[in-house]
Amino acid sequence: MSRRLVEALQRRPLDRPPVWIMRQAGRYLPEYRDLRSRYSFQEAVSTPEVAAEITMQPIRRFAMDGAVIFADIMTPLEAMGVDMIFDPGPKLRPHTLQEVIALAELDPEKVGFIGETIRRVRGEADDDVAVIGFAGAPTTLLAYLVEGGGSKEFMELRSAIAADPPAAREALDSLGRAMNSYLTVQAEAGADVVQLFDTWAGLFGRHTYADVCLPAARAALADLEVPSIYFAPAAGHTLDLQPAIGAAGYGVDWRVPIDEAWNRLGDVAIQGNVDPAILRTDVDTIRRHVSDVLDRIGGRPGHIMNLGHGIDRHTPVENAAAFVAAVRA
């Protein structure tokens, strides 16, 4: 069975690009809010029938080309012995680089519920819908581990890496191996595509990115049996470096025009890149911005339509529908 998303990553000519939305299974959907009123976030993620139901909600409503599993980038760290709560983002004890290096290896059996969620989604989704697994990139996971939660600047992370690059590389290498194991679990369970989210890599200059961040991301995606996408928002200054990671496709945010970004990335597939704020406007504005992206692509094979970041929780449902319809039209 042909899956449009996989074909786009293989850069095959298509009559239209595949479309999905990062965070498409989330708080902007009333059915999600209803279901989550009965389960905590961690309960929902670790209960396969609940996670699979949440994953399928936007597929039923919008007919997306990809079903991204409902989980969190921090999920595998819990399986490695890291205690945390979600309120609403992750909160945990700050770790030193040496403590990160000493974390337990990822035991695939401890993330078996993720594999079961994928199997359930694969069994329910139409054959032409690609199941999308994902993980956090090592640099982004290290950011939360060192900082103890979210931050705008991640000063603790940046100072730790600057003070001890060898220890940072060792910590990131360890996380890279763990995420490779985690993504392998997902691929073996039936994920057609996996995405690596490197949300905070853009905080670093080109030298640190190339020397410390990039090799760990490459290790996370090494030797997988399914195609992968790498996405680092606010990292336009590293686009020409990113293909060394070895993904089939690269997500780009809205800060760089998609045709310019593709020229800098080179001979790879590309994903994006409508500003999520556009989906909080009106149908005509959404159509105009979708058309602008498609005009810049000019029919070049290898494009996956998406936002330049996750969908905002206050997005009207009808506007998400208008975005998908504009692409499908």
In the block, residue with structure tokens 């853009």: 202
- Is 4 an annotated catalytic residue? no
**What's the confidence (pLDDT) of residue 86?**
85
Per-residue confidence (pLDDT) for residue 247, from 0 to 100: 98
Question: Phi and psi at residue 182, in whole multiples of 5°?
Answer: -65, -45
Pairing state between β 90-92 and 84-86: antiparallel
Respond yes or no: is residue 72 known to be catalytic.
yes
Is 218 among the catalytic positions? Answer: no
Tell me which fold the domain 4-328 belongs to: TIM Barrel (3.20.20)
- How do residues 98-144 score in pLDDT, each as one tens digit? 999 999 999 999 999 999 999 999 999 999 999 999 999 999 999 99
The rounded average pLDDT for each run of 10 residues, N- to C-terminus, in the chain (329 residues) is: 92 98 96 96 96 98 97 95 87 95 96 98 97 98 95 95 97 98 98 98 97 97 98 98 98 98 98 98 98 97 98 98 97
pLDDT for the residue 1: 59
Catalytic residue among 4, 23, 120, 122: 23
Catalytic residue, from 27, 119, 300, 328: name it. 27
Q: Which of 3, 28, 120, 144 is catalytic?
A: 144
Q: Nearest-CA neighbor of 90 among 35, 52, 44, 42?
A: 42
Domain boundaries, the chain: 4-328
pLDDT at 313: 97
198 is catalytic: no
Considering 3, 4, 28, 72, which one is annotated as catalytic?
A: 72
Q: Sort 39 into a burial class: Cβ within 10 Å, 0-12 / 13-18 / 19+.
A: middle
Integer Cα distance of 275 and 270 in angstroms: 15
Q: Which residue among 36, 280, 300, 328 is the active-site one?
A: 36
39 is catalytic: no
DSSP E strands: which ranges in 130-277? 130-136, 193-197, 228-231, 249-251, 269-271
Rounded CA separation 99/88 (Å): 25
Structure tokens at 59: 């597929």
